[in-house]
């Protein structure tokens, strides 16, 4: 049975100020919830239907569990069609990313505001074996419910940091080159791509911030293919699609 206080708390976590206040976030759906449970992150509470609990009982040791019906789940879910499970997790404490300790590909995101885009980028990074994403301080909150949902459990494996990108790039080691995604740069397909480096992606609306452009070592562009039948094609790619193409090219070799 869901109490009014629990309903109020869970619904408040849809807003950033209350996530920060309580240091809690919500995950919904079997994939998301089980991936966070397996990651070892601290679990505050879990709400699920009897059928879901029966199927997944082996994963639920030492967790505060409340059995609910779907009608009750609809009172706390952020989804149009509520899942059979919702869990509240503690937001992990995290220091700033230290590029001097990294020797692989790192994603850097500048002013990504759309939650769906960020969630998809996190999922893409997970697919391509990229475990660190550094975001500008004005990028959408990782624990926004739409980000968590779009990441489909990948947020449990990918480390996401928020910090001043200019200062971070100025302090980076020389061996990590910065590859900035711009509209007019080097054809990334023909470019020699290292096993390590920083892939910098800006917002769809404004691209990479002017203050970061001088810190890019190599400007890269996804080559556009123009159809004879459709000369006036799209001017740019959505940020998550562009990131996926770039990650594929860097890993392809």
Domain boundary among 90, 123, 154: 90
What span, in angstroms and rounded, lies between the C-alpha atoms of 138 and 66?
36
Report the CATH number at residue 213.
3.40.1280.10
pTM recorded for the entire structure: 0.93
- Same domain for 136 and 45, yes or no, is no
- Same domain for 137 and 238, yes or no, is yes
State the pLDDT at residue 12.
98
The sign of the dihedral angle between the CA atoms of 143, 148, 154, 156 is positive
Cβ atoms within 10 A of the Cβ of 31, count?
16
State the pLDDT at residue 145.
97
- Same domain for 170 and 86, yes or no, is no
State the pLDDT at residue 252.
86
- Same domain for 30 and 59, yes or no, is yes
pLDDT, mean of residues 79-107 = 94
pLDDT, mean of residues 243-248 = 97
Domain boundary among 56, 73, 90: 90
Cβ atoms within 10 A of the Cβ of 229, count?
5
Average pLDDT over the chain, rounded to an integer? 94
- Same domain for 123 and 205, yes or no, is yes
Render pLDDT for 144-189 as a digit per residue (tens, 0 to 9).
999 999 999 999 999 999 999 999 999 999 999 999 999 999 999 9
Domain count along the chain: 2
State the helix-helix crossing angle for 239-252 and 115-127, rounded to 10 degrees: 10
- Same domain for 85 and 200, yes or no, is no
State the pLDDT at residue 205.
85
**Residue 228 pLDDT > 60:** no
pLDDT interval class at 105 (50, 70, 90): very high
Domain of residue 150 covers 99-252
């Amino acid at each position: 049975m869901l109490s009014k206080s629990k309903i109020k708390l869970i619904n408040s976590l849809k807003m950033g100020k209350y996530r920060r206040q309580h240091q809690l976030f919500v995950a919904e759906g079997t994939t998301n919830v089980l991936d966070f449970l397996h990651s070892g992150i601290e679990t505050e509470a879990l709400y699920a239907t009897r059928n879901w609990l029966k199927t997944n009982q082996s994963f639920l040791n030492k967790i505060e569990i409340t059995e609910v019906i779907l009608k009750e789940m609809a009172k706390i879910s952020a989804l149009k069609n509520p899942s059979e499970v919702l869990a509240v997790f503690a937001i992990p404490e995290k220091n700033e990313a230290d590029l001097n300790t990294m020797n692989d590909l790192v994603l850097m995101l500048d002013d990504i505001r759309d939650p769906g885009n960020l969630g998809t980028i996190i999922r893409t990074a997970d697919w391509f074996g990229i475990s660190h994403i550094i975001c500008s301080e004005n990028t959408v909150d990782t624990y926004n419910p739409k980000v968590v949902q779009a990441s489909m459990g990948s947020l449990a494996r990918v480390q996401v940091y928020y910090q001043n990108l200019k200062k971070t790039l100025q302090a980076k080691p020389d061996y990590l080159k910065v590859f900035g995604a711009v509209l007019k740069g080097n054809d990334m397909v023909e470019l020699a791509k290292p096993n390590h480096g920083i892939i910098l992606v800006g917002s769809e609306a404004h691209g990479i911030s002017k203050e970061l452009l001088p810190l890019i070592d190599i400007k890269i562009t996804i080559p556009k293919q123009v159809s004879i039948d459709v000369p006036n094609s799209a001017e740019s790619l959505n940020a998550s699609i562009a990131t996926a193409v770039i990650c594929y090219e860097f890993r392809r070799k």
